[in-house]
Chain A
């Protein structure tokens, strides 16, 4: 039985096990080495694996992602860290035009096993340029896989799967979850990309939520149960590929779909999921689906404003209650 650890420590554990397993795995990023990472999520790896495998870089996100891409094409399995997911903006070309398309443009001559770890998420007072759910920026770029772990075992298992995967995988680590405790099951199992987790079973409504919103959805489901409304909570765990089958299977039972996401509605995974479910499974719905999304504004700084920006458990309860009584 493994000891309990927190989300932050699960990152270093997963990376260490991946590096132990495969010599081709190297880490590159800003202050990930000697400093142990801006979030201390690579703490101890520099001492254990040395400066050739844990490489500190200048503040050069384009070079970080591009170097990972080139090194992957030539046989390494790089794990790049983009400290805050918002900084994907300064290396968007390297992710969207290079990394994601390299295999396709070359007619499959190469595979590009790059993992990019990025810290996303609001709620910690980091304001507009350090809090976004930028995973949604990448949904419209075929060639990328996207993981959004919300628990310790999922973070460990998805990160391990990402490093082993032959394709580029973006792994988003939510900064509001770093202190969440959990246990990696015996045998350190990997979590496959594209398999959702049914967190809670209930017959009245299907709530789909990831990362911080998964935890709020579970909290809301508890409150709803006290009112006699039983919710299934599904954590997709990866946005690409997305486990549509798990959601559809639940919809067959509940006939109601609520999606909670930490991002504005337009151009988001929640909007896409609802569109797919309505298109493919219209006959299953007894009520209009609901997307419980963040305010369509940048993330504000002030504590009360940021709290209002984020979907709260109370708001989830209210929206789902309204849907069930539709």
Chain B
């Protein structure tokens, strides 16, 4: 039965060898991390609204609740590093620094979109900020990530290559081939599993015989790290460690970030398969909520200040959307451009 399966949550503050409460280990830039997560949350909330109004074509996959994974991991990177992600990748591309208006533009099929309107929701790419591809094939980005790491190693750039993947992607062949190749070549790659507990509609335990996906790293002789994926500071910390290893020529790391998809798989999915109470339990440990509460508890922010920050970010995102909505559609000549160089 699905509700008997692997939906147990990690204890929020007790993983990572009893790491102290988030409020006691807030970094100097915690407000900035919060702002980044809020920007992604506002973006996704707007996307949900746009989709409901029929302004987004095809499908879209929302990442509310998973913001700490992409923000934490990308905050550990430096200019020149690269990132690939999944079709639930709006957050990761924004976390790398892609402008929100051009992301909206892509979603709306506008000429000013990141990809000129030719990629859409599932292919957000902004090479200028190191976001070298969102992929609509589960696991399809992983071999490409290995290639980016190969180029970094071969050219001696010191860059690391990060891939986000879902829990479901750990069961596809490309995962095995990619981690194996990255490991034997000691490439500077970091594979970050966004374990949101569902592969589309199937709970993880119904598809996967091991509970800890990080344990799969053992097959490739690389470190496997399990982290609370709703703790942005912890995610950044483990990613920094992985990046240090990668830059030092010690090879790749597999990180499992435990998180939760607050929305359904795609916009056609109401999430009826969730056991009763599961969503509420995870909403109570929402990564944005937790960081805000920690800032309050540590005296770094008042409820009013946090509300003001939320409003400020929401207004910025709304302005970005308004700009994008005013942009023109691509000219029809774009249809046949960019097939070949």
- Shortest Cβ distance from residue A77 to the other chain B in the assembled complex, whole angstroms: 10
Binds B, one of A59-67, A170-178, A294-302: A59-67
- Shortest Cβ distance from residue A290 to the other chain B in the assembled complex, whole angstroms: 32
In contact, A63 and B180 (Cβ under 8 angstroms): yes
Q: Using Cβ atoms and an 8 Å threshold, which residues of chain A touch B248? A: none
The residue in chain B whose Cβ has the minimal distance to the Cβ of A167 is: B340
Q: A63-B177, A94-B143 are in contact. Are A74 and B148 (CB under 8 A)?
A: yes
Q: A76-B154, A97-B140, A167-B341 are in contact. Are A70 and B127 (CB under 8 A)?
A: no
> Which one of A58, A74, A142, A166 lies within 8 Å of B181 (CB-CB)?
A58
Chain B contacts with A in 112-150, Cβ cutoff 8 A: 113-119, 123, 125-127, 132-133, 135, 137, 140, 142-150
B56-99 vs A, Cβ < 8 Å mask (1 yes, 0 no): 00000000000000000000000000100000000000000000
The answer to the question of A71 belonging to the interface, with a C-beta cut-off of 8 Å to chain B, is: yes
The answer to the question of A110 belonging to the interface, with a C-beta cut-off of 8 Å to chain B, is: yes
In contact, A107 and B117 (Cβ under 8 angstroms): yes
In contact, B154 and A107 (Cβ under 8 angstroms): no
A95-114 vs B, Cβ < 8 Å mask (1 yes, 0 no): 00110001111111111000
**In the bound complex, how far is the Cα of B225 from the Cα of A75, in angstroms?**
31
The answer to the question of B332 belonging to the interface, with a C-beta cut-off of 8 Å to chain A, is: no
> Which one of B113, B137, B181 lies within 8 Å of A97 (CB-CB)?
B137
Q: Using Cβ atoms and an 8 Å threshold, which residues of chain B touch A63? A: 143, 146, 174, 177-178, 180-181
In contact, A104 and B338 (Cβ under 8 angstroms): yes
How many chain B residues touch the partner (CB < 8 A)?
45
- Shortest Cβ distance from residue B92 to the other chain A in the assembled complex, whole angstroms: 15
**In the bound complex, how far is the Cα of B113 from the Cα of A103, in angstroms?**
15
The answer to the question of A272 belonging to the interface, with a C-beta cut-off of 8 Å to chain B, is: no
Q: A58-B184, A106-B125, A108-B338 are in contact. Are A68 and B151 (CB under 8 A)?
A: no
The answer to the question of B152 belonging to the interface, with a C-beta cut-off of 8 Å to chain A, is: yes
Q: Using Cβ atoms and an 8 Å threshold, which residues of chain B touch A60? A: 177, 180-181
The answer to the question of B230 belonging to the interface, with a C-beta cut-off of 8 Å to chain A, is: no
- Shortest Cβ distance from residue A71 to the other chain B in the assembled complex, whole angstroms: 4
A37-62 vs B, Cβ < 8 Å mask (1 yes, 0 no): 00000000000000010010110111
The answer to the question of A120 belonging to the interface, with a C-beta cut-off of 8 Å to chain B, is: no
Q: Give me 20 other A-B pairs in contact (C-beta within 8 A), A66-B140, A66-B147 excluded.
A: A60-B180, A61-B177, A62-B174, A63-B178, A70-B148, A71-B147, A71-B150, A73-B132, A74-B82, A74-B132, A74-B147, A74-B148, A74-B155, A75-B151, A94-B174, A105-B133, A107-B119, A109-B127, A110-B127, A145-B340
**In the bound complex, how far is the Cα of B150 from the Cα of A152, in angstroms?**
32
The answer to the question of B42 belonging to the interface, with a C-beta cut-off of 8 Å to chain A, is: no
**In the bound complex, how far is the Cα of B174 from the Cα of A66, in angstroms?**
9
In contact, A75 and B155 (Cβ under 8 angstroms): yes
Interface centre among A66, A142, A145 (most CB of B within 10 A): A66
Q: A63-B180, A166-B341 are in contact. Are A70 and B118 (CB under 8 A)?
A: no
- Shortest Cβ distance from residue A89 to the other chain B in the assembled complex, whole angstroms: 12
Between A and B, 29 residue pairs with Cβ closer than 8 Å are A58-B184, A60-B177, A62-B173, A62-B177, A63-B177, A63-B180, A63-B181, A66-B144, A66-B178, A67-B144, A70-B150, A71-B147, A72-B147, A73-B148, A74-B147, A78-B147, A93-B137, A93-B174, A94-B140, A94-B174, A103-B338, A105-B118, A106-B119, A106-B125, A107-B113, A107-B118, A109-B125, A109-B127, A111-B341
The answer to the question of B337 belonging to the interface, with a C-beta cut-off of 8 Å to chain A, is: yes
Q: A26-B154, A73-B148, A105-B115 are in contact. Are A93 and B140 (CB under 8 A)?
A: yes
The answer to the question of A143 belonging to the interface, with a C-beta cut-off of 8 Å to chain B, is: yes
Q: How large is the interface on A (under 10, 10 to 19, 20 to 34, 35 or more residues)?
A: 35 or more
The answer to the question of B161 belonging to the interface, with a C-beta cut-off of 8 Å to chain A, is: yes
- Shortest Cβ distance from residue A317 to the other chain B in the assembled complex, whole angstroms: 39
In contact, A70 and B146 (Cβ under 8 angstroms): yes
Chain A contacts with B in 132-159, Cβ cutoff 8 A: 142-143, 145
**In the bound complex, how far is the Cα of B155 from the Cα of A55, in angstroms?**
15
- Shortest Cβ distance from residue A275 to the other chain B in the assembled complex, whole angstroms: 20
**In the bound complex, how far is the Cα of B144 from the Cα of A76, in angstroms?**
13
Q: Using Cβ atoms and an 8 Å threshold, which residues of chain A touch B126? A: 109
**In the bound complex, how far is the Cα of B277 from the Cα of A211, in angstroms?**
65
Q: Using Cβ atoms and an 8 Å threshold, which residues of chain B touch A268? A: none
The residue in chain B whose Cβ has the minimal distance to the Cβ of A66 is: B143
The answer to the question of A255 belonging to the interface, with a C-beta cut-off of 8 Å to chain B, is: no
In contact, B154 and A52 (Cβ under 8 angstroms): yes
The residue in chain B whose Cβ has the minimal distance to the Cβ of A96 is: B137
B305-340 vs A, Cβ < 8 Å mask (1 yes, 0 no): 000000000000000000000000000001001111
The answer to the question of A69 belonging to the interface, with a C-beta cut-off of 8 Å to chain B, is: yes
In contact, B119 and A57 (Cβ under 8 angstroms): no
In contact, A76 and B114 (Cβ under 8 angstroms): no
**In the bound complex, how far is the Cα of B185 from the Cα of A26, in angstroms?**
14
Q: A62-B143, A73-B132, A142-B339 are in contact. Are A67 and B127 (CB under 8 A)?
A: no
